[in-house]
Amino acid sequence: MFLEVKNLTKKYSNKTVLHSLSFGVDQNKILVVLGPSGCGKSTLLSCLNGFITVDEGTVFLDGQNITKLYPEERDITTVFQSYSLFPHMDVMQNLMYGLKFKKISRNDARKKALKMLHLLQMDEFSNTKIQDLSGGQQQRIALGRSLIVEPKLLLLDEPFSNLDEKLRLTMRHELRQIQKELNMTMVFVTHDQQEAFSIGDQILVMDQGQIQQIDTGQGLYSTPKNHFVLKFIGDSNLLDNGEYIRPEDIVIKSDSNGDGRIEQMDFQGSTINYLIKYKERVFHVTCLNRIEPLKVGTHVDVQYKVSKLEEK
Amino acid sequence: MGKNHLGSKITNWFVYIVISLSILLFIFYPYLSIFVQALHEPGETFNSFFMQNIKLTQNSLFVAIITMILSVFLAVSVTLCFAFISKKWQRLLRVFLLITMVSPPFVTSLAYITLFGRRGMITHDLLQMTIEPYGPQGIILMQTLSFASLNALVLIGLLKQLEPSLINSARSLGARTDAVIKDIILPLLKPGLIVVALISFIRSLADFQTPTIIGGSFKMLASEGYFAVISMGDIHKAALINLTLAIPALIGFFLYIKYDHAMSVQHHGLSSNMKAFPLPKKGFFFVGSVILSVIFYLALLLQYGSIVMNAFSVKVMGNYQFSLQPIIDSQIYLNDTITRTILYSLIAGLVGSLISFLIIYYSKVRNDRFMKFIEMVGTFPYILPGTFFGLGYLYAFSKPPLIMTGTSIIVIINVIFKQVAFATKAAKASVSQIEPTYFKTVHDLGGTVVNEWKDVFFPMTKQGFAITFLNGFISTMTTIGSIIFLVHPGQNMMTLVMFDVVQRGEYQVAAVIACMIILICLVMSGIVFGFISLSGKDWGYVFRSKKSH
Ligand SMILES: Nc1ncnc2c1ncn2[C@@H]1O[C@H](COP(=O)(O)OP(=O)(O)O)[C@@H](O)[C@H]1O
Ligand SMILES: [Mg+2]
């Protein structure tokens, strides 16, 4: 594996924040670390880029043990949530900053920066002050500044969480494009599962400093390994004995003799969510908006598919 | 409801007019009269005086420029070193820096004489030699040492606001410690560096005590201005000298305004500790700043060590022995001076803060144009030499329509209005943290201006008010320049007595008074910070949350 993390443990005083994590990332892939806030995602990134020292475990990057190196000595760059662009430098100076520490002429550095601006679709902003950029533009420059030094690994800590919904979608898309173009290996941290699905080749689900499951988005959704993953990823109607029904796995049809009854209707646009009462239980149901929405009180016929957690 | 509003309107106008008039009368008018009279009075003209005494100006500028460079350089070292060390050390060193803030300005010179003077503890007693410690080198050294603390505290306050993720970003891109300091930290400190450089320059120009005490035969504008009044009674000459001093100070002032805007809220050294920088402790800057800082703190230690030693010992056959004799000796100089000094400082702190907060209420919350002008007038005493302010009072209030010289009320008014300059700055910082919607809400719900003050403005700024009060208290306890010409025998203040006994060579008595001033200021700081931490918890939600994450 290109990035290989083994038994990584981090404690603050006597509270263990990361419990012996082991995982790897292949070259040119994106691993998304997904988990609720406070579960240790940022701490994990800080162990990878070297801003905190680990208590136990090793980090190998491209065959080299980097566990004990200073951040400036690691071939890793990080895009922080707050962008952290240098306010006293303009766009070009920000982009070119990391190149100062490479053996590269100023002229070549300029060329690289201009090329990066082009890739980011921001050609006309080369001499703009940072303060005059919008949030999305700042995020792009921060990304470009980290990419331009061609690190072996790029880390991103909830980079899009300060952007509005629409922009976030665009940026996800662009990030994937750039990643393909530059063949970059990335670890991307988020608490947003939609983001994880759309960006990650693999998704590492974490809770309370422990890895819950590593899989593709599809894998997580269709075969969750445990209760946490099941509850965290998507919605589900829990039954007993580790059995559950996904809301889209329930099909309802208006039927005056049916033993289900619509309790609530929640119009979402492309989909409609229902709450139905069926055999003394309440179920969440998601339907595509193809037929006339069913009114509250309507009796329905219910068909469903039960899934089961894989017992360990 | 109508009646209620009428009363409130009258109060509002009354306060507005009283504040505006008092600032014009007690700040603008004294400055104006010194300009008008110094330039129009019979006697030497400004031009001829300036040309004949060009050497004085040269000396003053020479010392001010060197002091400015050295004290900023030293302050940067102290600041960088501070950023590298752990919180525990920061707390300790900050106590050191804060003690220098509550010391009378010429304590350094006093320590210098007792250590290195003709009969100094180190040069004479320890090394058995007699050297000549007096002259410009001594002035520059002492000013550098005493200005560096304030500069460092301002810079530390600024550094605290620096996002650690900026440093992390630079490191993640490959910057080592030296590169981070050179490319990120120093450039971001630039507005602060310019501001402290200007403050040091202006303070050095205005400082008459250091050259008076250790200048020897080296003549400078500020000290000559002081001698002109005190030994020759030549107020006209003093006015000309102060006018000369005012020119570079005013130029500095306009630069200062320009760059001060670039600096956000600064707490004048009363701010809390910061997290140690996430940077490896190595490289040129780190080593250099640690070495200079160690020298700096050792010098402070030596300085205060010698003051305490002088205050609590007598020399018996060449040996120092613990004794309360210096304290007993100091009593005849002090009498009721201690009570008076504390009383005046309390009044200056309270009234000065009240006036300043009300000015800021009108200029900032109400956005009143005229009050913005009043606010600007209020900042004059911050930048112009203290003696200039004092002379202005001497000129303005020794003749009709308002004769007050020789009374104690003129001293009280002087110390109150001298506070306004800094207090308005502090008030502004404090008020800028209140959401403006709170004021709108009061009116929305039917409240009046008086309700705004009573229910929002003062309750929500009470911490800032307490800090501003403390600042006014401390600066009055340690002030000297503005009141030295106004105080008459029998109404003395502690710093003046101290300055007087230093000049008579009664160093041990001076050391006792210095210790007393420091102690009083520290006790008051303890009280104010106790109050703040007691009232602190329940007010957190009022303030604008910083950039949300
Ligand atoms: N410097 C620190 N000292 C003590 N505890 C910390 C520190 N930094 C983070 N933590 C704790 O570690 C846990 C994980 O934090 P973090 O990695 O920031 O979570 P996430 O990024 O997933 O929101 C949290 O419980 C947090 O309180
Ligand atoms: Mg985080």
Q: Which of B191, B180, B205, B177 is nearest to B66 (CA)?
A: B205
* Structure confidence at residue B116 (pLDDT): 82
Q: Report which of residues B308 and B454 the model is more confident about.
A: B308
* Domain co-membership, A117 together with A206: yes
Give the homologous superfamily in CATH for domain B1-36+328-549: MetI-like (1.10.3720.10)
Please report the DSSP string for A252-263 in residue order: EEE-TT-SEEEE
Distance of CA A282 to the CA centre of its chain: 31
Mean pLDDT of chain A: 92
Provide the number of structural domains found in chain A: 2
Return the higher-pLDDT residue of B250 and A145. Answer: A145
Q: Per residue in B367-400, pLDDT tens?
A: 888 988 999 888 888 878 888 888 889 888 888 7
Which of left, alpha, beta for A186 (phi over 0: left; psi -120 to 50: alpha)?
Answer: beta
Nearest to B353 by CA among B454, B423, B418, B411: B423
Residue A19 has pLDDT above 90, yes or no: yes
Per-residue confidence (pLDDT) for residue B320, from 0 to 100: 78
pLDDT tier, B1 (very low <50, low <70, confident <90, very high otherwise): very low
CA distance linking residue B112 with residue B443, whole number of Å:
59
End residue of a domain, out of A227, A260, A283: A227
Angle at B29 between CA B28 and CA B30, to 5 degrees: 95
- Which residue, among B161, B171, B173, would best test binding to A if mutated, counting the most A CBs under 10 Å from its CB? B173
Instruction: Give B82 Cα–ligand 1 centroid separation in angstroms.
Output: 26
Residue A43 placed within a domain? yes
Rounded Cα gap, residues A122 and A115, in angstroms: 10
B residues 166-225 near A, CB within 8 Å?
A: 166, 168-176, 179, 183-184, 187-188, 190
Last residue of a domain, one of A227, A258, A293: A227
- In what side-by-side order are the strands of the sheet with A243-245? A237-238, A243-245, A307-308
Choose the final residue of a domain: A227, A254, A270: A227
- Tell me: do A15 and A164 sit in the same domain: yes
- By percentage, how much of chain B surpasses pLDDT 90? 32
Stretch A275-279: mean pLDDT: 92
Q: Which residues pair with A254 in a beta bridge?
A: A300
**Token pair in block for residue B536:** 């602190």
Q: Are residues A212 and A262 in the same domain?
A: no
Same domain, A124 and A265: no
Give chain B's radius of gyration (CA, Å). Answer: 24
- Supply the pLDDT for residue A187: 96
Closest residue, chain B, to A151 (C-alpha) = B173
List pLDDT tens digits, range B318-376. 777 888 888 878 888 887 889 999 999 999 999 999 999 999 988 888 888 898 899 98
Asked if residues B387 and B206 have their Cβ atoms less than 8 Å apart, the reply is yes
Do residues A174 and A61 both lie within one domain?
yes
The predicted-structure confidence for A121-139, as pLDDT tens digits, reads as follows 899 998 999 999 998 899 9
Whether the Cβ atoms of residue B375 and residue B360 lie closer than 8 Å to each other: yes
pLDDT greater than 70 at residue B160: yes
Write down how long chain B is.
Answer: 549
Strands A202-207, A30-34: pairing kind: parallel
- B546: pLDDT strictly greater than 50: no
Q: Is A60 helix (H, G, I), strand (E, B) or coil?
A: strand
A185 with A73, same domain: the answer is yes
Ligand located closest to A39 CA = 1
Interacting residues of B59 by C-beta distance below 8 A, sequence separation 6+? B136, B218, B219, B220, B221
What is the greatest pairwise CA distance in chain A? 80
According to the model, what pLDDT value does residue A9 have? 96
| Nearest in space to B74 (alpha carbons), one of B243, B277, B293, B253 | B293
- Let me know if the fold of B1-36+328-549 is the same as that of B44-311: yes
Measure in Å the smallest separation between the Cα of B279 and chain A Cα atoms: 9
Asked whether the predicted pLDDT for residue A241 surpasses 70, the reply is: yes
DSSP label of B269: T
Tokens of A48: 């990878």
ipTM of predicted complex: 0.84
Q: Are residues A47 and A163 in the same domain?
A: yes
- Contact at CB, B163 and A100, closer than 8 angstroms: no
Q: Which CB contacts under 8 angstroms, 24+ apart, belong to B295-298?
A: B296/B74, B296/B77, B296/B78, B296/B145, B296/B148, B297/B93, B297/B96
What is each CA distance from A101 to A88, A96, B289, in whole angstroms?
19, 10, 24
Mean pLDDT of B141-156: 91
Helix, strand or coil, per DSSP, at residue A6:
strand
Q: Which residues line ligand 1 (CB under 6 A)?
A: A 12, 17, 35, 37-43
- Residues 428-467 on B with a CB inside 8 Å of A are none
* Mutant choice from B166, B172, B547, B549 vs A, greatest count of A C-beta within 10 A: B172
What's the CATH code of the domain at A203? 3.40.50.300
Query: What 3-state DSSP class applies to A274?
Result: strand
The full 3-state SS of B477-522, as one line of letters, equals: HHCCCCCCCCCCCCCCCHHHHHHHHHHHCCHHHHHHHHHHHHHHHH
Q: Residues A3, A153: contact at Cβ < 8 Å?
A: yes
Q: How far apart, in whole angstroms, are the C-alpha atoms of residue A246 and residue B209?
A: 83
At residue B536, the pLDDT reads 61
Tokens of B547: 């950039």
Nearest CA in chain B to A73: B174
pLDDT over 90 at B165, yes or no: no
The interface residues of chain A toward chain B in range 185-244, judged by CB-CB distance below 8 A, are none
Mean pLDDT of A196-223: 94
Question: Do A175 and A215 belong together in one domain?
Answer: yes
Q: Are B476 and B417 in contact (CB under 8 A)?
A: no
* A132 and A275 assigned to the same domain: no
Report, as an integer, the average pLDDT of A227-250: 91
What pTM, to 2 d.p., does this model score? 0.84
Interchain pair B175, A72: CB under 8 A: yes
pLDDT tens across B225-282, in order? 899 888 888 888 888 888 888 888 888 777 777 776 655 444 344 444 566 677 888 8
Q: Which of B112-116, B347-351, B451-455 has the highest mean pLDDT?
A: B347-351
Are A38 and A162 contained in the same domain? yes
B301: its two tokens: 């230690």
Per-domain residue ranges for chain B?
1-36+328-549, 44-311
Amino acid letter for position B264 = S
Same domain assignment for residues A151 and A266: no
Per-residue pLDDT band at B47 (split at 50, 70, 90) = confident
User: Which amino acid residue places its CA nearest to atom 3 of ligand 1?
Assistant: A12
Coil vs helix vs strand at B437: helix
Instruction: Flag the least confident range among B106-120, B200-214, B293-307, B370-384.
Output: B106-120
Other beta carbons within 10 angstroms of residue B486's beta carbon come to 24
Residue B59: pLDDT band (50, 70, 90) is: very high
Q: B65 near B136, Cβ under 8 Å?
A: no
Architecture of the structural domain at B44-311: Orthogonal Bundle (1.10)
Taking alpha carbons only, the member of A189, A266, A204 closest to residue A235 is A266
Is residue A150 a part of any domain in this protein? yes
pLDDT at B410 over 70: yes
Instruction: Determine which residue's CA is closest to atom 8 belonging to ligand 1.
Output: A43
Residue of B389, B418, B385 whose CA lies nearest to B220: B385
Tell me which range, A36-40, A254-258, B99-103, is most confidently predicted by mean pLDDT. Answer: A36-40
Of A84, A88, A101, the CB nearest to B169: A84
Same domain, A194 and A294: no
Distance CA B320, CA B317 (A): 8
Whether the CB of A145 is below 8 Å from some CB of chain B: the reply is yes
Q: B87 in helix, strand or coil? A: helix
Domain membership of residue A54 as a residue range: 3-227
- Residue that wins the pLDDT comparison between A255 and B7: A255
Q: Are strands A153-157 and A76-79 parallel, antiparallel or unpaired?
A: parallel
Looking at the domain assignment, is residue A307 inside a domain?
A: no
Task: Say if CB B55 and CB B219 are below 8 A apart.
Answer: yes
Tokens 């920088």, residue? B277
Mean of pLDDT values over B175-192: 92
Ligand 1 center from residue A58 Cα (angstroms): 20
Residue with tokens 């006697």: B43
Nearest CB partner across the interface for B165, out of A71, A80, A88: A80
Q: How confident is the model at residue A37 (pLDDT cuts 50, 70, 90)?
A: very high
